Amino acid sequence: MLVLWNGQLLPRTEVQVDLEDRAYQFGDGVYEVIRVYGGQLFLLNPHLDRLVRSARAIRLDLPWSPSQLANQLRELVAANRLVDGAVYLQVSRGVAPRAHAFPRASQPVLVAYPLPASRPTEAQERGVRATFVEDIRWLRCDIKSLNLLANVLAKETAVERGAQEAILHRGETVTEGSASNVFIVQGRVLRTHPANHLILDGITRRFVLDLAAREGISTVEAPFTREDLLNADEAFFTSTTQEIVPIVEVDGHSIGVGVPGPITRKLLRAFHAAVQATIQQEV
């Protein structure tokens, strides 16, 4: 495997992670996960735009422009002959003697490498179980930062309860999943939490909202409660690696009739068609 490390492509064994990299000690950095279909980086520009926004929000100056990053990531995909998978990219504030305040002189450290990823076909066809977990994260969940401990704990709770994903809630308000956004269908309306500081504005979330509009499905970005979710006709998660996954049960309560609903299935078909069109366009 070749790894992109500050502009160079190196074998994994030659990448040296420094003991005092601030990502390692403080989670002081930002990241992205970008899906690769047919050798193409899917929705690359929105991912890079979000990386720039996340970096700015933590006052980390990126020394690379989005177009330089795009070129480097395309080279990474080509060098690894990656066809169907994902790319993980992180940028830390750099290496410096351990102290909380920003170091006077440190250069950001960028690492990117391929991750395995494949369409979760069975989950998409059958739907999955989810569980409610209190959202204990900080108040800047809009930043895709390396600090993922609360997300890790929530996901582990879900796994221990035999669920695929944790649905996070602050009080009664559902925010998002531990690594995904959450949508519900009420009648003919698709609803998801607004993109504010309480959630990550998922690239897939935004893509699905656009797809829904194109498919003539009404959308509303407004908070909803746990009870709204339990009483919804349909519910699903979205994320880069999972695309759209129907939620058919939450803590033992069936959602709708307990199988993936018609609007979710329509969006899944539209999503798969959009992926296919992207692959064909680039060939």
Ligand X SMILES: Cc1ncc(COP(=O)(O)O)c(C=O)c1O
Q: How far is the CB of 195 from ligand X (least distance, A)?
A: 10
d(CA 145, CA 30): 4
What is the smallest separation between the CB atom of 190 and ligand X, expressed in angstroms? Answer: 16
Stretch 2-41: interaction string toward ligand X, x if CB under 6 A: -------------------------------x--------
Residue nearest ligand X by beta-carbon distance: 202
Nearer to ligand X, 72 or 180 (CB): 180
Q: Which of residues 107-126 bind ligand X (CB under 6 A)?
A: none
Our CB check for ligand X shows the closer of 5 and 237 to be 237
Q: Which stretch binds ligand X (CB under 6 A): 128-136, 187-195, 200-208, 218-226?
A: 200-208
Span near ligand X by CB under 6 A; candidates 74-82, 154-162, 179-187, 254-262: 179-187
Q: Does 176 help bind ligand X (rule: CB under 6 A)? A: yes
Number of Cβ within 10 Å of residue 57's Cβ equals: 15
Helix (H) or strand (E) holding 225: strand 224-225
Q: Which of 50, 137, 144, 191 is catalytic?
A: 144
Residue 167 lies near ligand X (rule: CB under 6 A): no
Structural tokens at position 75: 């080279």
Q: Give the binding-site size for ligand X (rule: CB under 6 A).
A: 14
**Structure tokens given for 276:** 């296919």
Q: What would the DSSP string read from start to end of 233-263?
A: SEEEEEETTTEEEEEEEETTEESTTSS--HH
Long-range contacts of 211-218 (CB under 8 A, 24+ apart): 211/267, 211/270, 211/271, 211/274, 212/267, 214/270, 215/266, 215/267, 215/270, 217/188, 217/189, 217/190, 217/263, 217/266, 217/267, 218/188, 218/189, 218/190
Chain centre distance of CA 264 = 19
Active site residue 144: yes
Q: Which is nearer to ligand X, 96 or 268 (CB)?
A: 268
Site for ligand X in 221-250 (CB under 6 A): 238-240
Quote the least distance from Cβ 237 to ligand X, whole Å.
Answer: 8
Amino acid sitting at position 2: L
C-beta of 21 vs 32, nearer to ligand X: 32
- Position of tokens 């720039």? 52
Mapping DSSP to helix (H, G, I), strand (E, B) and coil, where does residue 84 land? coil
* Smallest distance, ligand X to C-beta of residue 43, A: 8
Per CB under 6 A, the segment of 22-30, 56-64, 81-89, 198-206 that binds ligand X is 198-206
Q: Closest Cα partner for 86 from 120, 55, 52, 56?
A: 120
Options 157-165, 175-183, 184-192, 253-261: segment touching ligand X (CB under 6 A): 175-183
179 binds ligand X (CB under 6 A): yes
Q: Within 10 A of 174 (CB to CB), how many other CB atoms are there?
A: 26
User: For residue 212, which of 180, 234, 241 has the smallest C-alpha distance?
Assistant: 234
Footprint of ligand X (CB under 6 A): 33, 151, 176, 179-181, 200, 202-205, 238-240
Which residues have a catalytic role annotated? Answer: 144
